[in-house]
Amino acid sequence: MAVDQQQEQDQKQQQDQGKSNGQEQGDSNQHSDSEEAKKRTDPRRKRTIRLITLAVIVVAIVVAIPVYAYYSVRESTDDAQIDGHVIPISPRISGNVLSVLVNDNQMVKAGESLVKLDPADYQIAYDQAQAQLASSEATTVESQQNVPITTVTTTSQVSTAVTQQQQARAGVAVAEQAVNAARARWNSSKANLDQAQANFVKSQKDLVRYKSLVDKDEISKQDYDAAVAAADANAAQVQAAQSAVIEAQHTLDQAVAQVDQAKAQLATALVQRRQSEQTLSRQQAVSAARVKQAQATAQQRRADVDQAKLNLDYTIIKAPVDGKVSRKSAEPGMQVNAGQQLMAVVPLDDIWVTANFKETQLRKMRVGQKVEIKVDTYGSSRRYRGHVDSIAAASGAKFNLLPPENATGNYVKVVQRIPVKIVFEPGENREHLLVPGMSVVPTVLLNSNDNQ
């Protein structure tokens, strides 16, 4: 109760003090109004106010000039992010995963093994390919060895045919000479026959005359007997000459037949030689074709060995570049197919910024200009350096699946954004703190270039 009474007394005192203060404030306000009226009429006060106003304007201009100079040579946007390559890791062959050698978010070097597949089947295929290659190479060697043997054999046949042709031609010459000799003997025999026949005719006529003279006893019997003997001798010579002519004719016929036979042998030798020469070229072509076929087969088998070796090497999946492993889905025991993605490797040394600047901000932007990059993850405590690498050939809307059609009649002008690629300076991401997808705010220094 005592406390309540004390509070009521305090409230009354405060009200009394408020009333007294109100009266004092009213008096002071009346006094200030009179002073302001006096000040308005004072010309010194007016000059002071003008000077202060002018000073404020000058200070504002002095401050605005460097601010304008600072921001007029800079263009910035918050529609930007870090981009980079995301390299999918997939097997080039099918197989069973034997072991996985890396974990998610692990840094790997180019050529480092990531996944091992079961190599048993591919090792067998490689051994089979090597065996087939050895067989093909042996066949090739055999075919190459058969080429000179075939050449020697067919060349010998051609040489024999040439020799036979030469012998047949010589036989024709000899037979023709024999025909000439037989014809000469026949001519001689015919001449002898003509002479013997003439002598026989004469002896017959003499015998007729001697017969009439013997009958008249004008000549002796001895002379008549001599004439008879001469006639008989001439008759025998005629028969002998006729036999010689017949024999010479037979010899001539034989010689002519031998000439025909020799010519037939010559024609046969010519045919055999032609056939041997054709056989030589054909056999050589066949041998060369067999060698080429064997070489082609060996080359194919060699390619099979190379492919089998590649497949065997493909059982170890290696990192193509330096980077960080991400999205790992491979597990031991999995059956994977060629092209199936098992993980991804992000090369953090090759990242850039894709900044979507408004088209009105590109008026003074050029390739090579310096860029200050603030990463949202690390705030303004650290700024990264870079430069403008390139400006896209079209706005982002043009690359959409359904680009805008401004000729439809309901056109509304919208400020477009153009992607600009900004590349970090060397060594800026040495610690690999920047990863694709991070939001950034790049500021392009429009008064800089790649030489400043």
pLDDT for res 224: 66
Q: Is the model's pLDDT at 4 over the cut of 50?
A: no
Find the CATH number of the domain harbouring 306: 1.10.287
Same domain, 130 and 251: yes
Same-domain status, 433 and 355? yes
Decide: 182 and 252 in contact? Cβ < 8 Å: yes
Whole-structure pTM value: 0.57
* CATH for 395: 2.40.30.170
Q: Is residue 213 part of a domain?
A: yes
Query: Do 114 and 127 fall within a single domain?
Result: no
Q: List the helix and strand counts (H, then E) for the chain.
A: 4, 15
Based on the fold, state whether residues 189 and 286 are members of the same structural domain.
yes
Residues 147 and 241 in one domain: yes
Q: Which domain holds residue 385?
A: 80-118+325-445
> Residue 105: CB partners within 8 Å, gap ≥ 6?
324, 325, 326
Q: What is the pLDDT of residue 327?
A: 93
Last residue in a domain, options 251, 280, 313: 313
Question: Is the same domain home to 226 and 137?
Answer: yes
Q: Give a yes or no: residue 271 inside a domain.
A: yes
Same domain, 304 and 332: no
pLDDT greater than 70 at residue 7: no
Residue among 366, 377, 381 at smallest CA distance from 422: 366
Q: How does pLDDT run across 277-312, given as a tens digit for each residue?
A: 666 666 667 777 777 888 888 899 899 999 999 999
Q: How many CB atoms lie within 10 A of CB 410?
A: 6
Q: Are residues 348 and 270 in the same domain?
A: no
Q: Is residue 19 part of a domain?
A: no
Say if 126 falls within a structural domain: yes
pLDDT band at 142 (very low <50, low <70, confident <90, very high): confident
Q: Which of 261, 291, 313 is the last residue of a domain?
A: 313
Nearest residue to 275 via CA among 384, 171, 189, 154? 154
**What pLDDT score does 287 carry?**
73
Asked which of 279, 313, 347 is the last residue of a domain, the reply is 313
339 and 259 housed in the same domain = no
Q: How many domains does the chain have?
A: 2
Tens-digit pLDDT profile for residues 381-437: 889 999 999 999 988 888 877 777 776 667 778 888 999 999 999 989 888 899 999
Residue 87: is its pLDDT beyond 80? yes
Tabulate helix, strand, coil % of the chain (nearest 5).
60, 15, 25
Non-local (6+) Cβ contacts of 155 within 8 A are 280
For 94-123, the pLDDT digits (tens) are: 999 999 999 999 999 999 999 999 999 999
